[in-house]
Chains A and B, each alone.
Chain A
Amino acid sequence: MTVFAPGFFASSPVHVALVIGGISAVVCGLVGTFTVLRGQSYAGHALGDLAVTGGSASFLANVSPLWGFAGIGVIAAGIMDMIGIRRPRGRDLATGIVRGAGLGLAALFLYWDTTSSSTTGVSITILFGSMFTTSTSVVPVVLAFGLPAVAIVAILFRPLLLSSVSPELAAVRGVRVRLTGLACLLAIALAVSLSAITVGAILSTALLIGPAAIALRVTNTPGRAMVTAALVGLGATWIGIVLAYDSFYWPPSHDGWPVSFFIVALIFFSFLVSQLFGRRPGRVIRAEG
């Protein structure tokens, strides 16, 4: 069996998938490092689930799901901030409630999607991703969402880091902690929406959290962790795409295994290995949420 099945490099859906998946993985790696540092994995996960709401709404409105993913993410980030995501104690609850209410809406939208048109595949596309069916025209949109997310973490690198490790110290130093937190949440929302078109809305946490968690275990400075996370994410995504392409020749159905499964599995096992055998994390990256 060959690693690169015939036609891999000639196939244009594969090119698009490699480009979009690659951009998403890099953005998620960079933003995800802060998500993990700040203990906001749950917010990331909730924003991913909420992308289902946005995705299903955008199918109703007949626009690219990416707009829905990002739009709902920004709104939800605002609401979470408003109802108290800053206090560590009530934070998970507030996140959960927003997620629950959003998913309720998603149920309604998906119901309308499936009853108003005959596109029964809509739920699957939104929930589990559609990388191979994405058109080239989405690439600029992906960049338009990815760049602001990266810009936020790049510009706010120092204040974000400081307020992640010690909000009190940051406040004393004149960092506007709440505003910084909101900006970070917005960056997470944008990153998750990119991840949602790559591996699907409910798996989008994988690209956001996984590579970052691995990177924070094997490196010792936040900057290096960000670069490592981006590379790990990129590797997992591209290898996942290759495997998914190969899997068209695999049992049982000769229909291909889902690319999101490969990406998630690769990330999960790298994570396990890094946790079991990686060295203990340094002091810098222990900021409990």
Chain B
Amino acid sequence: MFAAFMINAWVTASIVAVIAGVVGFFVVLRGAAFVADAVPTGAFAGAAGASLLGINTLIGLGVFALAGSLGIGWLSRKARRDVATALILVMMLGLGALFLSFTVEYSSEIFSLLFGEVLGVSSNEIVPVAGLAVVCVLAIAVLYRPLLMSSLAPESAAARGVRLSMVELAFLVIVGLATSLTLPVVGALLIFSLMIGPPAAARAMTNSPLAAIGLSVVLALVTVWVAIAASFETNWPIGFFVGAGGAVCYALGRLVGHWRRSRIRVRPAVA
């Protein structure tokens, strides 16, 4: 399980988990689950396009993830947000279907893009993934206060001079970035489990934002590690274990939250 060819998988998956834990906290806080779901799923089409053109899939993923985020940001000023998200998403997926129909012999690759393939990570992919990860975490660190404020109390944040639409756009771009690097590892359809399961649990367990971020990273790491180990043992797709792990985290969070609420009657600091 810790053989040389698995090292890349462990390293990359751990980076992915840290990103998902950090970015996911804000996804949960802002109630942006649908966007966090739509961007990766749609970005999958970019990977299909890139492989059609014969360029690095990471570029295709990045371009589509960014275009998707910006498109959602733009269109949701004109239409209802969930509708805008849904339609941008299906348009990107439709393009994906078109690209796929132009290529042949692609079926197993689609499967791995959609459902993840840790073993496919090569060592020269680690550097760009790590680079993007650092950019994401730095961006979150810089935007930490405005992000937190605009998530919790948009009105008072606006009164304090936070430009909500800019913060929103920046956040979407971060989600896009985080997505394009996590996608090849856990798969388009399941990044999202990693991005909301652990953070949702963490939020239920603690009221302090920083502690919640830390906890969410830890839970995401545990989920990914267990998933890799289980996937290695059973040879089943890793996506299955990540999806199940996310659900277990969420259930755990609900239980702990319930227990905490019934024990101490305090006003929720992070609500």
B-binding residues in A (CB < 8 A): 36, 39-42, 44-46, 49, 52, 83, 89, 92-93, 95-108, 110-111, 114, 120-121, 123-124, 127-128, 200, 202-203, 205-206, 209-210, 213, 217, 252-253, 255-258, 260-261, 263-265, 267-268, 271-272, 275-276, 288-289
Contact = CB atoms under 8 A, between A and B. Distances in A.
A258 B100 CA distance: 9
B55 interface: no
A41 B83 contact: yes
B247 A97 contact: yes
Interface of B: 28, 31, 33-34, 36-38, 41, 75, 78-80, 82-83, 85-87, 89-91, 93-95, 97-98, 100-102, 107-108, 110-111, 114-116, 187, 189-190, 192-193, 196-197, 200, 236-237, 239-244, 246-247, 250, 254
Contacts of B36: 96
B208 to A, nearest CB: 20
Given A120-B107, A203-B94, A209-B87, A39 B247 contact: no
Closest 5 CB pairs of A and B: A104-B243, A100-B193, A264-B94, A107-B239, A92-B33
A24 to B, nearest CB: 15
Given A40-B82, A100-B242, A272-B75, 14 more contacts: A39-B80, A93-B196, A101-B246, A103-B189, A104-B240, A104-B241, A104-B242, A104-B247, A106-B189, A107-B190, A128-B100, A205-B90, A271-B87, A288-B80
Contacts of A252: 102
Contact of B115 (A36, A41, A110, A206): A110
Given A41-B83, A96-B192, A276-B78, A120 B90 contact: no
B152 to A, nearest CB: 12
B196 A97 contact: yes
A258 B115 CA distance: 22
A255 to B, nearest CB: 7
B93 A202 contact: yes
A227 to B, nearest CB: 19
Contact of A265 (B91, B114, B116): B91
26 contacts: A49-B41, A83-B254, A97-B197, A97-B246, A97-B250, A98-B247, A104-B247, A106-B189, A107-B114, A107-B115, A107-B187, A107-B239, A203-B93, A205-B90, A209-B90, A210-B90, A213-B83, A264-B90, A264-B91, A264-B93, A264-B97, A265-B91, A267-B90, A268-B90, A268-B94, A271-B79
A110 B190 CA distance: 14
A104 B97 contact: no
Nearest to A200: B97
Given A93-B250, A104-B193, A114 B111 contact: yes
A97 B198 CA distance: 11
Residue among A255, A257, A264 with max Cβ neighbours from chain B (10 Å): A264
Contacts of B197: 97, 100
A96 B33 contact: yes
B34 to A, nearest CB: 4
B190 A104 contact: yes
Contacts of B93: 202-203, 264
A51 to B, nearest CB: 12
Contact of A92 (B34, B94, B114, B189): B34
Contacts of B111: 110, 114, 123
B266 to A, nearest CB: 19
Nearest to A266: B94
A100 B79 contact: no
B44 to A, nearest CB: 9
Given A96-B192, A101-B247, A210 B28 contact: no
A193 B100 CA distance: 23
Given A41-B34, A203-B93, A261 B98 contact: yes
Contacts of A52: 189
B240 A253 contact: no
Given A39-B80, A107-B190, A89 B239 contact: no
For A49, A104, A108, A110, which residue has the most chain B Cβ atoms within 10 angstroms?
Answer: A104
Nearest to B107: A120
B97 A261 contact: yes
A258 B192 contact: no
Nearest to A262: B94
A210 B78 CA distance: 15
Contacts of B98: 257-258, 261
Nearest to B28: A93
Nearest to A210: B87
Contacts of B190: 100, 103-104, 107
Contacts of A257: 98, 101
Nearest to B94: A264
A258 B101 contact: yes
B244 A101 contact: yes
A102 B89 contact: no
B180 to A, nearest CB: 19
